[in-house]
Amino acid sequence: MEDFIAFIAKVMEVDPLELNEETTFGKYKKWDSVMHMRLVMEVEEEYDVEIPIDEVPNIKTLKQLFDYAKK
């Protein structure tokens, strides 16, 4: 999870210490709807996974996003 958080922090351009698995979409100021889509695309590319488009709105925490990355 640490490597994943570091990757997400790099995409968001924030300090990894600001993030944890419970960081939540919409409640963390840097994670808005545009960043949400960017994170999904970056995770798909970095981890060679495909997140179904109908699942994207259900991803609310970094833990949920991580679960897709490790599939």
Interval 28-57: pLDDT, tens: 999 999 999 999 999 999 999 999 999 999
- CATH homologous superfamily of 2-69: ACP-like (1.10.1200.10)
Provide the mean pLDDT of the chain: 96
The neighbour count for residue 4, using CB atoms within 10 Å, is 20
Q: What is the rounded CA–CA span in Å between residue 48 and residue 39?
A: 13
Residue-level pLDDT at 39: 98
Confidence of residue 17 (pLDDT cuts 50, 70, 90): very high
